[in-house]
């Protein structure tokens, strides 16, 4: 070594020269000799010198050795020597025993030579190709050399191997080598290859590395296997650590199941060799790699699930409760169990159910907590138990509730035989061991983490401090210890206890106004805190001051102003007066500026090199991060701002409620919208149907219109002189046909009416004539003729009337029919018009159409109204005619009555006449007989007198008869009158 130091120092000594010359000569021989044997011997000589004269051989021979590797591949011996020589130059492994100084220098040498070697990338590829040589003398040194290169300049060599085709695959084949030395060195090579290179890790895993390594571990006897198992485990760790892809593959390939047998340690007490402890340790770490809290949550939980399902967690728990397990392994097992259960409810529940095999059985949690608060247990073990407890409670409200409930009055076991978790924690909290204090405080804080219910529940806890004194609440006891902290003699640092308690109080009070009120209720607390903060203490106390400031800040920020004397505003004024805002904020800042703060904030595991470093808890650092800003803001804010903020909060709440209200409304409206959409779609369908109906109807209307127009033209021809239908031009009627028909009928009616009127007039004139003829003295014959004509006419009229009436009836029926038809049509159109505007909201086009249709309909309606009016007028006219007819009928009736009377009179007088005629005949006979008698007797004078008297009487009668005859219209009368006239003439003749 003196020699080497001389070399490094640059001194030139005698022997050095000769060795350098020898090396030179050997190099020349390697380069120039044509004989393989000669070259081989020279390389062998170089190899023997390479350990001792590393620098010289390295500088002078490297180039030649590489050349040998390229050209003499056929001779495995020379290749082997060359590789060995290169390995000696590059590797630092052999220098383990040298002094520190030279080690550093030789490390420099190694990396420098590595750099020279890999400058030509082909050299590495050359090495890779040599690995394919099966010869042990080539393959083994090649493996060692490559390992060495990777150890020296990992990233560069990795990159070269990565891009050389099949590079990694070739290296993977080493694991399949039947020669254990090469396989084992292959594992070491892969270790160096996979170190922090994700791409290579992935390829190695792809090449079935997991399968092969797990096979090797099983073959070697799991944890009982030697260092090979450890090497394999470290390689597995390389492949899995921070490589999500490989972790996923490991899980998917069901390799987690294959880890379970590793932990079959059992009770056989077969002894714990150092190697076994190391192997188990790495095995446990490998489990932790898969469920590390830093992994993506989904990946961790799926591994946790698999570990429970295959019984790995159960296996680990048996180690936890087994006896004779070395503390190192036990600690790591606790840490592993912690991470396997962390945040995964099923595993947490299982862990809560695990019992220690003691008599009576105690829950594993209780047994573990007993170790935590036992100052005789190793520090790392106590930390591990704390971690386990934290992981058990992480995102486990059920577990938190169970732990807190063991402290509540109702559930505490009165007999006191069994110790509960809560009792252990309280014991730890108030023990004289500061480490126990800290651990118990942090553990209890984790039972309250993000769990408002448990924060309130814990307020109920009362402690009996000493006999005779009233019970004190747990919260109060904590603050009491805090304020008396200095007076009690404790083991360990006093700060630890106070920091622990302050962390517990901060966690307890945050987000829990009731706890804040409880805290402030003790009037001693605030003065204590302000006193602590305001005091100008040494650096040691700065952290406590910061935590006191945080606690005070929390009791301001989460204050619900329920205590008159400690309202937000008053506390702020207190800070302003006693401490000063700036000072307060500065003290608050001490927490996060503490050197141990950032350390704790990195990982959830409480991992401290020594008890003095045990200051911060990971979850607490999160709380500080969360609260520091808001408390600073709250302190700086003036009361007005505070009020404003509260108002804002209120309004925000209002807004929130409004927002929720609106959200609900929107939801409802959404539903409605959905419904309406459906409705619209159905309506659209309907609309389409209706539209088609409308178009059909429009076409019909068009047809009708055409017909109507045709009719109108015809009508126009008919009624040119009347011109009363001039408005008919605008008719867009629904039923022009009907209208036309109606019109026609009306026309007919009108003509009928006219006819009737004319007939009436005729009759009137006839009656007039009759009257006048009655008034003026006319001949019997004349009057009887007129009477007979009249009666004929009357009969005719009657008939006509009857026909008219029937016509009228039929027409009125028709009219009513038409009217009902029209009504129906109107209704139809109306319903259509109604149904159309409903969907019209959505479609303006439809609306326009419907309005159009409506317009047309209204026009039609108007028209029909007009027509109705016309009909009405016509019917009025008709009624008038009827009335006239009735009047004439009544006159006719009167006349008939008169006639009847007259007839009666006539028959009466006929009878009288007949009687008279009989009388006359009698008289005549009498007269004749009398005449005869008189002739016989000669008395004609007397008879003549009588005869004359009779004649006068007869004449009188006749006159009255004539008078009567004037009134008689019956035809029979004429003949009678005629006869009567004959009788009269006969009388006249007779009278003469």
Judged by beta carbon, residue 127 or residue 808, the one nearer other proteins is 127
Look-up: residue for tokens 């003469």? 992
- Beta pairing partners, 473: 462
Residue 251 CB, shortest distance to other proteins, in Å, is 9
CA 793 to chain centre: 96
Query: Would you call 344 exposed, middle or buried from its count of C-beta atoms within 10 A (0-12, 13-18, 19+)?
Result: buried
Question: In sequence order, what are the residues at sequence separation of 6 or more whose Cβ sits closer than 8 angstroms to the Cβ of residue 18?
Answer: none
Spatial separation of the C-alpha atoms in residues 17 and 22, rounded to whole Å: 8
Q: What are phi and psi of 293, to 5 degrees?
A: -60, -15
Judged by beta carbon, residue 204 or residue 380, the one nearer other proteins is 204
Residue 37 CB, shortest distance to other proteins, in Å, is 39
By the 8 A CB rule, do 517 and 455 touch? no
Distances (CA, A) of 220 to 178, 231, 232, 268, 287: 14, 12, 10, 19, 19
Residue 166 CB, shortest distance to other proteins, in Å, is 6
Question: Cα angle at 950 between 946 and 956, to 5 degrees?
Answer: 150
Judged by beta carbon, residue 165 or residue 409, the one nearer other proteins is 165
CA neighbor of 62 nearest in space, from 484, 464, 70: 70
Judged by beta carbon, residue 253 or residue 716, the one nearer other proteins is 253
Site residues for other proteins per CB under 8 A:
162-169, 196-199, 202-203, 206-208, 211, 242-249, 252-254, 296, 298-299
Spatial separation of the C-alpha atoms in residues 841 and 380, rounded to whole Å: 77
Judged by beta carbon, residue 194 or residue 621, the one nearer other proteins is 194
Judged by beta carbon, residue 300 or residue 406, the one nearer other proteins is 300
Give me the DSSP letters along 161-229.
Answer: HHHSTTHHHHHHHGGG-SSHHHHHHHHHHHHHHHTT-HHHHHHHHHTTHHHHHHHHHHHTTGGGS-HHH
Judged by beta carbon, residue 202 or residue 955, the one nearer other proteins is 202
Judged by beta carbon, residue 155 or residue 361, the one nearer other proteins is 155
Residue 471 CB, shortest distance to other proteins, in Å, is 51
Residue 182 CB, shortest distance to other proteins, in Å, is 18
Residue 167 CB, shortest distance to other proteins, in Å, is 7
CA neighbor of 889 nearest in space, from 976, 981, 797: 797
- Beta pairing partners, 472: 463
CA neighbor of 983 nearest in space, from 925, 929, 915, 905: 915
H helix and E strand count, the chain: 42, 4
Q: What are phi and psi of 355, to 5 degrees?
A: -115, 145
- Beta pairing partners, 40: none
Residue 159 CB, shortest distance to other proteins, in Å, is 8
Judged by beta carbon, residue 27 or residue 124, the one nearer other proteins is 124
Residue 249 CB, shortest distance to other proteins, in Å, is 5
Residue 292 CB, shortest distance to other proteins, in Å, is 14
CA neighbor of 230 nearest in space, from 246, 213, 245, 205: 213
Residue 206 CB, shortest distance to other proteins, in Å, is 6
Residue 138 CB, shortest distance to other proteins, in Å, is 22
Look-up: residue for tokens 């389409």? 688
Judged by beta carbon, residue 118 or residue 502, the one nearer other proteins is 118
Residue 200 CB, shortest distance to other proteins, in Å, is 9
CA neighbor of 412 nearest in space, from 467, 455, 471: 471
Helix/strand/coil for 473: strand
- Beta pairing partners, 491: 433
Residue 303 CB, shortest distance to other proteins, in Å, is 12
Judged by beta carbon, residue 167 or residue 728, the one nearer other proteins is 167
Judged by beta carbon, residue 603 or residue 649, the one nearer other proteins is 603
CA atoms within 13 A on the CB side of 63: 8
Helix/strand/coil for 561: coil
Look-up: residue for tokens 């028959």? 907
Judged by beta carbon, residue 247 or residue 530, the one nearer other proteins is 247
Sequence length of the chain is: 992
């Amino acid at each position: 070594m003196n020699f080497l130091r001389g070399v490094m120092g640059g001194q030139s000594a005698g022997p050095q020269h000769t060795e350098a010359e020898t090396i030179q000569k050997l190099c020349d021989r390697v380069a120039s000799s044509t004989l393989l044997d000669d070259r081989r011997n020279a390389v062998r000589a170089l190899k023997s010198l390479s350990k001792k004269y590393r620098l010289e051989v390295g500088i002078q021979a490297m180039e030649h050795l590489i050349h040998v590797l390229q050209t003499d591949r056929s001779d495995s011996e020379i290749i082997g020597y060359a590789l060995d020589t290169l390995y000696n130059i590059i590797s630092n492994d052999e220098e383990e025993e040298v002094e520190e100084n030279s080690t550093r220098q030789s490390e420099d040498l190694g990396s420098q030579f590595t750099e020279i070697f890999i400058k030509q990338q082909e050299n590495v590829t050359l090495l890779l190709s040599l690995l394919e040589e099966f010869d042990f003398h080539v393959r083994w040194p090649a493996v060692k050399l490559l390992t060495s290169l990777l150890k020296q300049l990992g990233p560069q060599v990795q990159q070269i191997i990565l891009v050389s085709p099949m590079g990694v695959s070739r290296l993977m084949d080493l694991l399949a080598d039947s020669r254990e030395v090469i396989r084992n060195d292959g594992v070491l090579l892969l270790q160096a290859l996979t170190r922090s290179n994700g791409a290579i890790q992935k390829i190695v895993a792809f090449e079935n590395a997991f399968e092969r390594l797990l096979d090797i571990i099983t073959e070697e006897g799991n944890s009982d296997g030697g260092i090979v198992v450890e090497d394999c485990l470290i390689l597995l760790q390389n492949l899995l650590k921070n490589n999500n892809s490989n972790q996923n593959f490991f899980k998917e390939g069901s390799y987690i199941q294959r880890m379970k047998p590793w932990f079959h340690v059992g009770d056989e007490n077969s002894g714990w060799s150092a190697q076994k402890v190391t192997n188990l340790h790495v095995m446990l770490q490998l489990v932790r790699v898969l469920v590390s809290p830093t992994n993506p949550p989904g990946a961790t939980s799926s591994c946790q699930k698999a570990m429970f399902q295959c019984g790995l967690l159960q296996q680990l728990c048996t180690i936890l409760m087994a006896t004779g397990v070395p503390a190192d392994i036990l600690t790591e097992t606790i840490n592993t169990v912690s991470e396997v259960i962390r945040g995964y409810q099923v595993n947490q529940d299982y862990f809560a159910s695990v019992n220690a095999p003691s008599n009576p059985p105690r829950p594993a949690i209780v047994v573990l907590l007993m170790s935590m608060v036992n100052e005789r247990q190793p520090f790392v073990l106590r930390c591990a138990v704390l971690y386990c407890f934290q992981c058990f409670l992480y995102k486990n409200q059920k577990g938190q509730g169970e732990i807190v409930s063991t402290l509540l009055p109702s559930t505490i076991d009165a007999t006191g035989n069994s110790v509960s978790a809560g009792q252990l924690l309280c014991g730890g909290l108030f023990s004289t061991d500061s480490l126990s204090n800290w651990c118990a405080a942090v553990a209890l804080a984790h039972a309250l983490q993000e769990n408002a219910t448990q924060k309130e529940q814990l307020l109920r806890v009362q402690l009996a401090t000493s006999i005779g004194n009233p019970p004190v609440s747990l919260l109060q006891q904590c603050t009491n210890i805090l304020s008396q902290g200095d007076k009690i003699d404790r083991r360990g640092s006093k700060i630890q206890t106070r920091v622990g308690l302050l962390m517990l109080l901060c966690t307890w009070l945050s987000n829990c106004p009731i706890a804040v009120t409880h805290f402030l209720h003790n009037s001693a607390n605030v003065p204590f805190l302000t006193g602590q903060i305001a005091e100008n203490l040494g650096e040691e106390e700065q952290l406590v001051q910061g935590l006191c400031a945080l606690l005070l800040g929390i009791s301001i920020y989460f204050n619900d102003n329920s205590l008159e004397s400690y309202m937000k505003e008053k506390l702020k004024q207190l800070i302003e007066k006693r401490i000063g805002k700036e000072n307060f904020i500065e003290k608050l800042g001490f927490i996060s500026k503490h050197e141990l703060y950032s350390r704790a904030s990195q990982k959830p595991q409480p991992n401290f090199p020594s008890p003095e470093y045990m200051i911060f808890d990971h979850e607490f650092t999160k709380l500080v991060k969360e609260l520091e800003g808001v408390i600073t803001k709250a302190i700086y804010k003036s009361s007005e701002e505070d009020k404003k903020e509260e108002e804002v909060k209120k309004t925000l709440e209002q807004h929130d409620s409004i927002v929720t209200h609106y959200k609900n409304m929107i939801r409802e409206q959404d539903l409605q919208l959905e419904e309406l959409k459906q409705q619209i779609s159905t309506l659209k369908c309907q609309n389409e149907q209706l539209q088609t109906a409308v178009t059909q109807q429009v076409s019909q209307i068009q047809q009708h219109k055409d017909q109507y127009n045709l009719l109108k033209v015809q009508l126009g021809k008919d009624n040119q002189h009347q011109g009363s239908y001039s408005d008919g031009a605008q008719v867009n009627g629904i039923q022009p046909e009907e209208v036309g028909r109606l019109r026609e009928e009306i026309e007919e009616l009108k003509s009928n009416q006219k006819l009737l009127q004319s007939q009436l007039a005729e009759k009137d004139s006839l009656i007039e004539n009759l009257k006048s003829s009655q008034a003026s003295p006319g001949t019997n014959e004349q009057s009887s003729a007129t009477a007979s004509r009249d009666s004929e006419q009357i009969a005719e009229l009657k008939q006509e009337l009857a026909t008219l009436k029937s016509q009228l009836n039929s027409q009125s029926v028709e009219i009513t029919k038409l009217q009902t038809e029209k009504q129906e049509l109107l209704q139809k159109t109306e319903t259509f018009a109604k149904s159309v505007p409903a969907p019209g909201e959505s479609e303006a086009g439809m609306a326009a159409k419907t309005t159009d249709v409506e317009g047309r309909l209204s026009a039609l309606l108007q028209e029909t109204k007009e027509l109705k009016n016309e009909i009405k007028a016509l019917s009025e006219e008709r009624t008038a005619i009827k009335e006239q007819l009735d009047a004439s009928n009544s006159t006719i009736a009167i006349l008939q009555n008169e006639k009847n009377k007259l007839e009666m009179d006539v028959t009466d007088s006929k009878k009288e006449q007949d009687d008279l005629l009989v009388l006359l005949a009698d008289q005549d006979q009498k007269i004749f007989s009398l005449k005869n008698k008189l002739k016989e007797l000669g008395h004609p004078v007397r008879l003549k007198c009588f005869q004359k008297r009779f004649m006068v009487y007869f004449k009188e009668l006749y006159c009255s008869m004539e008078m009567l005859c004037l009134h008689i219209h019956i035809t029979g009368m004429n003949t009678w009158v005629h006869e009567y006239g004959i009788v009269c003439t006969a009388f006249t003749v007779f009278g003469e």
